[in-house]
Amino acid sequence: MTHFIMLLTLESRAKLNNGIEIPRLGIGVYQSPPGEITLRAVRYAFEIGYRHIDTAELYGNEKDVGRAVQESGIRRDDVFITTKFWNSHQGYDSTLYACEEAYDA
């Protein structure tokens, strides 16, 4: 039996179907309250090398994540933001609307 061990670092990437490579490791902001705490957490994550932030509409802190990205000085193309939407945003049109709302956050 062959065992495969993958060593993960902040530089580890996974190739998506479109050829773009996304960092395998990211920082999540679940239960990070909106405001200064989330802003500081994301700023620090960028300082130590994270380039993938995971959030959700439900967390209420997407604006703070966006602000940290804008203020970071890191090229937006080098940062991955993953988010999740509530069940009421399922379906094509609802999902597009939710994406626009998250983007405007």
What is the C-alpha to C-alpha distance for residues 14 and 24, in angstroms, rounded to an integer?
A: 6
Q: Is 103 in the active site? A: no
Q: Are strands 13-15 and 52-54 parallel, antiparallel or unpaired?
A: unpaired
Among the options 30, 44, 50, 59, which is catalytic? 59
Collapsing DSSP states into helix, strand and coil, what is residue 95? Answer: helix
Q: Which amino acid is at 80?
A: F
Which residues are known catalytic residues? 59
